[in-house]
Amino acid sequence: MSTEKSLNFLEEIVKEDVTSGKHGGRLLTRFPPEPNGYLHIGHSKSICLNFGLAQQFGGQTNLRFDDTNPVTEDTEYVDSIMEDIAWLGFKWANVFYASDYFDQLYNFAVKLIEQGLAYVDDSSAEEIAALKGTPTEPGKDSPFRSRSIEENLSLFTRMRNGEFKDGEKVLRAKIDMASPNMHLRDPLMYRIKHAHHHRTGDKWCIYPMYDFAHGQSDAIENITHSICTLEFEVHRPLYEWFIKKLDLYPSRQYEFARLNLNYTVMSKRKLLQLVNEKHVTGWDDPRMPTISGLRRRGYTPESIRAFAEKVGVSRRDNIIDVGLLEFCIREDLNKNSLRAMVVMDPLKLIITNYEEGKTEILKGENNPEDEQSGTRDIPFSRELFIEHEDFKEVAEKKYFRLAPGLMVRLKSAYIIRCDSFVNDESGNIIEVHCTYFPESRSGSDTSGLQAKGVIHWVEANTAIPVEVRLYDRLFGVEDPSSEEGDFKSYLNPHSLDMKSKALGEPSLKKAAVGDKFQFLRKGYFCVDRDSVGGKLIFNRTVPLKDSWAKEQKK
RNA sequence: UGUCCGAUGGUGUAAUGGCAACACUGCAGAUUUUGAUUCUGCCUUUCCAGGUUCGAAUCCUGGUCGGACAACCA
């Protein structure tokens, strides 16, 4: 209806708050990852949302590491997270850590104890769970719930001083064991962990729980809009309870539906398993849905941002078709990548009427979508290699590639006609013989001939050997997590297909790690960092759409 | 037999009481020295039942279905 782009529900809330001057017109969001794994495509939605919203409405965004659990967290993850966010193109106003607030958080806890709103519980984890009730049954009070303020204060101090072992005591908020909201049934605030923290070292042996750290961290930073995923919705009453009892800045939490992609998994726990059990080569394996994996695969920040924009924001569960992600990267790379020719499965082709020993230099368009991109030199001679699948002994209907008697155009070169082919002892085709038409040279074609098909090729003497890694979806089913049994049993055994005998045109020699190309008729590829010792290795980012392959499947 | 949240084409997302639309996918065609790109057309949609209203995808009631919540994880 309207020509204006409609706003998603978060944009509407923020716009309303900013224009009404709710926080003095101020807007501050935050992105709060836990440094216990690498960021994935789902996080990129959250990143684009938090940073994008701030950008759009004149605010800022803090990066805050939610590092309240020293046993799972590591600086390796901190570094990768910062790298990924910067790579995506976003700038944070500040980098903070929840651990920056450990002293304040401790004082908040003391304050609640003094108000009679928190107590030290000697129960074991099992005992606490047993008294917690279930979502449909109320819980029961802990026998330690009515300790005096003085005793709680003393015990909590002793917890901090390291007088107790892990698990011996916890600090709990005193709220309501019968609350229909499980999170309000005297939630844990602090637990004892004699563990080394990646930032605070051995200063602490008690660490705040997420619920006791997150909301207050937002409040300490004066975050105006605390945006997170739907599973934290039931935490919001607790978040607000702490803010109210501690009289802190009233940050408000808003929840949106997390991104799900089909044919992959998105939980850090599962991704970590794939890494640890070597189903992939690492967090940045090009098949991983991690940001570092997508980067190595050849995805651009622009394409991921476009994807985040296209999937939209709402509060209902969703599973996005990975085809949309592929559309976004094709759209970007079609406009922006240089073209080159690479033959994956080489088949020798001899042009019998072409002078032996002669080489001529032809011109190839670098990018037909970009007039400024110019041309490159491509050598041509009597001996070439073409794609094995571009030749057939017997042409079927609608087939317009090479077959005896058929003509095709060699891209950027001449039209040729296939005259014969050579088999080896076992019947494999090892050579194709053709005649070329000298007047059909690309750009100055006066032959009047018409070839329906166009195929790519490389010149035999100048082609460079390259390795090409063809990737397919990591899993064979749309939603591995919802299938019976172990999700790993649904891994796609063909998710990586190595073409180690591929040949590339000589212009590729100067390609550097990360450079992106469209290999004509094949797909988009980028140079992998494994390229060493002069041999180039290319990752296939995504294949070109292939309506011929589709036709053949029918 | 709890609380909270949600339900619009195959997948997502709009429409904010007034003609259900956009993108992706799929199908058909045109163009093409990439069976790519581009362009054109087409298929397909408001969970159900009541109610309010001149008028309901939208508001109300009741159902149905789906999701979240019972870690000393975040």
* Residues contacting A545, CB < 8 A, separation 6+: A330
How far, in Å, is the CA of A439 from the C1' of nucleotide B51? 80
Residue A224's nearest CA partner among A51, A12, A8, A18 is A18
Statement: residue A554 has pLDDT above 80: no
Statement: residue A220 has pLDDT above 70: yes
Specify whether A505 is catalytic: no
Strands of A231-317 (E only): list them.
252-256
CA A349 centroid distance within chain: 41
Nucleotide nearest to A212 (CA to C1'): B74
CA separation for the pair A337, A369 (Å, rounded): 9
> CA of A156: how far to CAs of A79, A172, A189, A500, in Å?
34, 11, 11, 63
Confidence of residue A47 (pLDDT cuts 50, 70, 90): very high
Q: What are A324's two structure tokens?
A: 């949309």
Give strand pairing partners of A423.
A429
Residue A397's pLDDT is 87
Burial readout A232-265 (b: 16 or more C-beta within 10 A, e: otherwise): beebbebbebbbebbebeebbbbbbbbbbbebbb
Residues of A 97-126 whose CB lies less than 7 Å from any atom of strand B: 123-125
Nucleotide nearest to A269 (CA to C1'): B73
The answer to whether the pTM exceeds 0.90 is yes
How far, in Å, is the CA of A78 from the C1' of nucleotide B41? 51
Q: Which of A11, A34, A383, A467 is catalytic?
A: A34
How far, in Å, is the CA of A547 from the C1' of nucleotide B29? 14
Statement: residue A229 has pLDDT above 90: yes
Residue carrying structure tokens 């563990």: A195
The predicted-structure confidence for A54-102, as pLDDT tens digits, reads as follows 999 999 999 999 999 999 999 999 999 999 999 999 999 999 999 999 9
Instruction: Using DSSP bridges, classify how beta strands A346-351 and A429-436 pair: parallel, antiparallel or unpaired.
Output: parallel
Q: Which nucleotides of B are covered by protein (CB under 7 A)?
A: 1-8, 10-16, 19, 23-27, 33-38, 66-74
The predicted-structure confidence for A113-157, as pLDDT tens digits, reads as follows 999 999 999 999 999 999 999 999 999 999 999 999 999 999 999
Residue A1's pLDDT is 35
CA separation for the pair A88, A302 (Å, rounded): 8
Q: Tell me which H or E stretch contains A172.
A: strand A170-173
Residues of A 358-397 whose CB lies less than 7 Å from any atom of strand B: 367-369
Q: Which of A258, A348, A417, A521 is catalytic?
A: A258
Give strand pairing partners of A211.
none
Statement: residue A33 has pLDDT above 70: yes
The predicted-structure confidence for A510-542, as pLDDT tens digits, reads as follows 999 999 999 999 999 999 999 988 899 999 999
Residue carrying structure tokens 């939490």: A253
Mean pLDDT for A417-426 is 96
Helices (H), A358-512: none
Specify whether A529 is catalytic: no
Backbone angles phi, psi at A170, to 5 degrees: -135, 160
Mean pLDDT for A342-366 is 97
Statement: residue A345 has pLDDT above 70: yes
Nucleotide nearest to A547 (CA to C1'): B35
Residue A332's nearest CA partner among A370, A368, A303 is A303
How far, in Å, is the CA of A14 from the C1' of nucleotide B49? 37
Mean pLDDT for A45-50 is 98
Residue A216's nearest CA partner among A107, A81, A82, A69 is A107
Residue A312's nearest CA partner among A93, A8, A2 is A8
How far, in Å, is the CA of A337 from the C1' of nucleotide B42? 33
Specify whether A268 is catalytic: yes
Residues of A 7-36 whose CB lies less than 7 Å from any atom of strand B: 7-9, 12, 32, 34, 36
Q: Is the CB of A138 under 7 A from strand B?
A: no
Residue carrying structure tokens 């990066």: A63
Q: With beta carbons less than 8 A apart as the criterion, state whether A44 and A38 touch.
A: no
Nucleotide nearest to A268 (CA to C1'): B74
Confidence of residue A2 (pLDDT cuts 50, 70, 90): very low
How far, in Å, is the CA of A148 from the C1' of nucleotide B40? 79
Mean pLDDT score across all residues of chain A? 96
CA separation for the pair A513, A531 (Å, rounded): 7
Residue A205's nearest CA partner among A172, A242, A157, A173 is A157
Nucleotide nearest to A193 (CA to C1'): B72
C-alpha torsion A472→A478→A481→A483, nearest 10: -120
CA separation for the pair A69, A199 (Å, rounded): 11
Statement: residue A35 has pLDDT above 80: yes
Q: Is the CB of A319 under 7 A from strand B?
A: yes
